[in-house]
Structure 1
Amino acid sequence: MIMRPGQQQLLLPVSPVFIWASLIVALLLDMLPLGRGAWTPDLLALVIVFWSVHQPSRIGIGVAFVFGLCMDVHQSALLGQHALSYTTLGFCAITLHRRLLWYPVLLQALQLIPLFALSHLIELAIRMIGGGVFPGWSLLISPLLEAVFWPLASLLLLAPQRRTPDPDANRPL
């Protein structure tokens, strides 16, 4: 892998248990009964995009679809509303992952705003087609909040991979 000057250290391999645990924790956080406002960021969508960008071979469209169905059942939404949204997010994130990783974290967040907005637009369109009510213009805040949380998610979810391996006299890395 070609590294740019000043780029971060090489990361250790990620544990599949950590990936699944982070997805389940994000699902449980989205299921907390705190009242779901239109402006509330979708943490599960954020984690799905994160792992689709950083581990596209392990977290794919099928995983996004299953978690979307779980959210549909939990929120009593039209079956497939979140599933289509998360699947689209996963597909777009996997498509952009090579280009996105060349940028610093803040520029990655800026580039992900349209992706998060598309996800909320898909959910809104399906809700409106199904006879739902328009949640208001505060819906536009949610993609911005998800982009604001991107650096924090990067810091937290990459932390286990940044731990230093056991030093060895024969291994300089």
Structure 2
Amino acid sequence: MNRPHYILQPVSPLFITLSLTGAFMLNLLPWGRWIGAPDFVALVLVFWGIHQPRKVGIGIAFFMGLMMDVHDSTLLGENALAYTMLSYLAIMIHRRVLWFPVMTQAVHVFPLLVFTQAIQVLVRFIVSGRFPGWLHFIESFVAIALWPAITWLLLAPQRRAVDRDHTRPI
């Protein structure tokens, strides 16, 4: 109860675009083939789906999914389906999740990320008949470990006061 409550400034659409582009660029790096490397696009999409559901919705999630499908050379629509479902579920729970502290938010986001990975694994299994193994789901645990850092990083520009006044407490 003694946590400081910040009145956040409106988020800039340019910052949302830059954060999604940065997440996509992080997914382009070669560590994406390592076991446990998080899906940064999914993490940023679920963050903006919870914090700004009117600005980042299902359409942007579908577009980012198609971009990841092209990059990963996977079945066209695999990531698009998974990200669309992720965005829908994040928008559906966004009011409840924002009431909780960051670590409890991570507990709420974890099933969404696991569900997203399950959709991707199911589509791959239906198409190719191969199961990547249970180690594939470590990626969600790593993403949840990064949730506090991602939250702090993406909310930082909104916490600044436009005109700093040392006599104003908020």
Cα deviations by residue, 1:2-57 (Å, 9 ceiling, x for unpaired): xx874521001111100000000100110112351352210110000000100000
Structure with bigger helix share is 2
2:148 pairs, out of 128, 146, 151, with 151
What displacement does 1:160 show? 0.4
The counterpart of 2:51, out of the listed 22, 31, 54, is: 54
- For 2:98, the equivalent position in structure 1 comes to 101
Structure 2 partner of 1:16:
13
For 1:44, which of 3, 27, 41 is the aligned residue? Answer: 41
Matched residue, 1:129: 126
For each residue in 1:88-130, what CA deviation from the matched residue of structure 2 results, as whole angstroms up to 9, or x when unmatched?
1100000000000000000000111111100000000000111
Gaps of 5+ in 2: none
* TM-score for the superposition, normalised by structure 1: 0.91
Equivalent pairs, count:
170
CA contact (8 A) 1:61 1:87 kept: yes
**What one-letter code is carried by the residue in structure 2 that aligns with 1:27?**
F
How does the TM-score come out when normalised to structure 2? 0.93
Tell me if structure 1 keeps the 8 A contact 2:31–2:37. Answer: no
Q: 1:134 to 1:123 in 2, by over 3 A?
A: same
Partner of 1:142: 139
Identity of aligned residues (%): 49
